[in-house]
Amino acid sequence: MLNKVWDPKTVRILCTALIFALGLAFLYGASETLTLFLFAILFAYFVDPLVALLEKPLRGRMQAIGAVYLILIGLLVGLGFLVGPKVASEGNALATSLPSLLGQAGSGELVTQVGQKHGWSAARQAQIQNFFVQHKDDILGYGRAIGQKVAAPAQHIWWVILIPILAIFFLKDGQSIGENLVAMGRSPEDRKTLRGIVGDVNVMLGSYIRAQLILASLTLVVYTVVLSVLHLRYALVLGPLAGIFEFVPVVGPAIAAIIVFVIAVLTSYPHLIWIVLFLGIWRVLQDYVNAPRIMGKSLEISPLVQILAVLAGGEIAGVVGALISVPTVATLRILWRRLTNEKGADAPVAPISGDTSSR
């Protein structure tokens, strides 16, 4: 009687849709917790090569993990003593002067100062000044909105302590987690597919995280040194800020360049052309020389898809969504490729965070 009322195929479709909806509801409800665990996994990938390097000399993985954490703590404390006071001083100065600088930009007073230094005609100064005066509320509104989005992660500052603690478990049990995922397959074919997915994701995430770290470090050092040589105010703040934005593919570096240029304009920097030349040259070197050599083909995603992923991730989950958007899309691509048998080559079982240098 039930079969006459409900078609078996219809029942399976409805059950699948219900399970999918429940899964989405769970992801939405536990999004913060899942994001915390995701950052812990990414941090584990970051420190894993050093852990693997020290594991044999120290005769144990836990001993290697402890040694790596002590090294990181020592580096952070050393950097804090060396440059911490200077960075804090410039940060406080920027935070104090920024409201007045924005007020000058909104009133048009800053345009007059910049125009006089660069020999702009009175007509051009008047046009630009009228534009800023007419759009003062919009400019200040966009500035407040951007500031709120950037400051949102500060509400989870306690994650800085919790993420390394959770990463210890992924570093310690990563191999067994990978093996358990593979063992979930019911048939040899299913286990082969899962083995390939785990291996591909492991290689992709390991390469991506380490490449992003190297690129961000290069940007931090180059921005700080060059902006300091050019005597741009707040260089010790803008350099680390540009390094952080480098973690957001494509969109992040553009935002960092805009911030540097805006700060240069707001502080009436007299050599804007040098700032523009530096930003352009560094972007070309980073995108067409450094990134291809360092990152290689770890993502295999076009720049357009990366831009769309970053924008969508930022819209859905703010700064955190923008940071994890590209590796998420890369993981989905791996799932699609493996499940549709686009790539039949079998990949080795890889831990959630394991050494990928031998692959």
Q: What is the pLDDT of residues 201-221, one digit of tens each?
A: 888 888 888 888 888 999 999
Residue 21: band (very low, low, confident or very high) from pLDDT cuts 50, 70, 90: confident
Provide the whole-model pTM.
Answer: 0.69
pLDDT score at 341: 65
d(CA 268, CA 287): 29
19-34 mean pLDDT: 68
CA 16 to chain centre: 33
Q: What percent of the chain has pLDDT over 90?
A: 11
Lowest-confidence pick of 28-42, 149-163, 208-222, 228-242: 149-163
How sure is the predictor about 151, in pLDDT bands with cuts at 50, 70 and 90? low
Which one is predicted more confidently, 230 or 354? 230
| Contact yes or no for 43/164 (Cβ under 8 A) | yes
In this structure, are residues 64 and 54 in contact, taking their beta carbons and an 8 Å threshold?
yes
Number of C-beta neighbours around residue 34 at 10 A: 13
Per-residue pLDDT tens over the stretch 304-330: 777 787 777 777 766 667 777 778 888
Cα–Cα dist 275/233, whole Å = 12
Where would I find the H helices in the chain? Answer: 2-5, 8-29, 31-58, 61-107, 109-118, 122-134, 136-151, 159-183, 188-229, 235-245, 251-266, 272-285, 291-295, 303-339
The pLDDT confidence band at residue 348, using thresholds 50, 70 and 90, is very low
Least confident of 26-35, 67-76, 257-266, 300-309: 26-35
pLDDT at 349 over 50: no
Q: List, for residues 75-123, the tens digit of each pLDDT value.
A: 888 888 887 788 778 777 777 776 666 666 655 566 666 666 666 666 7
| pLDDT of 317 | 67
Sign, CA dihedral 253-242-295-301, equals negative
The residue ranking higher by pLDDT, 267 or 260, is 260
The one-letter code for the residue type at 282 is W
pLDDT at res. 280: 93
Inform me whether the pLDDT recorded for 347 exceeds 50. Answer: no
Q: Identify the pLDDT of residue 355.
A: 47
DSSP 175-192: HHHHHHHHHT-SSHHHHH
Confidence of residue 161 (pLDDT cuts 50, 70, 90): confident
Mean per-residue pLDDT over the chain, rounded: 76
Residues 51-61 pLDDT 10s: 888 988 898 88
What length is written for the chain?
359
